[in-house]
Amino acid sequence: MVKALLHHIVGTISVICYFLNTVIWSTPIFILAVFKLIPIAPWRRFTSYLADACATAWIGVNNINQRISGRTNWTVNGLEKLTRDGWYLVIANHQSWVDILVLQRIFHRRIPFLKFFIKQQLVWFPFLGVAFWALDMPFMKRYSKGFLAEHPELRGNDLEATSEAFRHVRNAATTRAA
């Protein structure tokens, strides 16, 4: 009984820490998003670099939270061959929000900052929607089979959005996660 209560307390504190960490680090990213609206390419690259640095720090604090609040031990092979200067496409069978935390923990500072393909609707998510945009995460419009049957001209839009996402980052090493 006491052990279960302790787990609930630790879990609650951990969730609060995730929330506060997200608000703290999304705030400078949100401010950088405003500056990123200035249409000067070198300036936009610089603000993207700063936003990525903030997001990397956010992940670092999340990783500390995971180490303190959880006792999960992972055995992952092949990490020693990775480099922050490389180009990577990480493909994951996304099952829950935990997948993102796991990928970020495993690859943190081993490869370029993970840029996830994001559902278009998430651009409206408080704090994170603007942060996703500022971090150059590609937004994808997904259509149901029924909708595509009614609008066949939209077939292939997701493939074009993917191609555009890769064209957008062709000058700097990056990691895209799908």
* pLDDT tens, residue by residue, 115-151: 888 888 888 887 778 888 899 888 888 777 888 888 8
DSSP H or E run through 32? helix 2-36
The per-residue pLDDT for 13 is 94
CA–CA gap between residue 106 and residue 111 (Å, rounded): 10
* Residue 17: Cβ within 10 Å count: 17
* Residue 174: Cβ within 10 Å count: 21
The per-residue pLDDT for 43 is 94
CA–CA gap between residue 34 and residue 38 (Å, rounded): 8
Q: Please name which of 54, 51, 103 lies closest in space to residue 82, comparing C-alpha atoms.
A: 103
Q: Give the residue with greater pLDDT, 28 vs 117.
A: 28
Contact 166, 152 (CB under 8 A): no
CA angle 169, 160, 89 (to 5 degrees): 45
pLDDT of residue 109 exceeding 90, the answer is yes
* Residue 63: Cβ within 10 Å count: 16
The per-residue pLDDT for 19 is 92
The per-residue pLDDT for 170 is 64
**Six-digit token string for 176:** 């895209």
pLDDT of residue 35 exceeding 80, the answer is yes
Residue with tokens 């408080």: 126
